[in-house]
Amino acid sequence: MIDSETFRSVLGRFASGVTIVTARDDAGEDHGMTVSAFCSLSLQPPLVLLCVDHEASMHDLLLKHPRFGISILSSSQEAYSRRFAADESNRFDGIAYVRGDSGVVLLEEALAHLECAVREHHDAGDHTLFIAEVERAEARQGRPLLYYRGGYAQLER
């Protein structure tokens, strides 16, 4: 079995996009976190997959509240990714956003927005896999924010 440092180093060579996942709790308070472990799962029905650490700030909220939003970040939104990855209480202060049809926060200037409903979740090691159906989606033009080898990168095309 390989050690966690080698595993992290090898998987760091896989560039991924960066998203902000948002949800509302029972009191109507907004919550958000940075997620790079996100991918498309199925076209019919439209499904996505999120992998969330059991210790993540929103883990338990996602188990209890089946609706969430995803903002796929643009290259100009690195500061948002850092903010939502940090342990801050006022993550939404000063950030431009709109509310989706389901009431979740969707960050303005993001490359894409998805509104999703959790269909299944499964424990896998120290993470939970959330399988969600996409109920609404929209895209705009721009360049993505990428995460590669422990840092942020931009796609040059």
Domain positions in the chain: 18-64+130-141
Give the tens place of pLDDT for each residue, 108-151.
Answer: 999 999 999 999 999 999 999 999 999 999 999 999 999 988 88
Give the tens place of pLDDT for each residue, 32-72.
Answer: 999 999 999 999 999 999 999 999 989 999 999 989 999 99
Q: Is 55 exposed, middle or buried (0-12, 13-18, 19+ CB in 10 A)?
A: exposed
CATH architecture of 18-64+130-141: Roll (2.30)
User: Cβ distance 38 to 48 under 8 Å?
Assistant: yes
Nearest residue to 106 (alpha-carbon basis) of 87, 80, 132, 127: 80
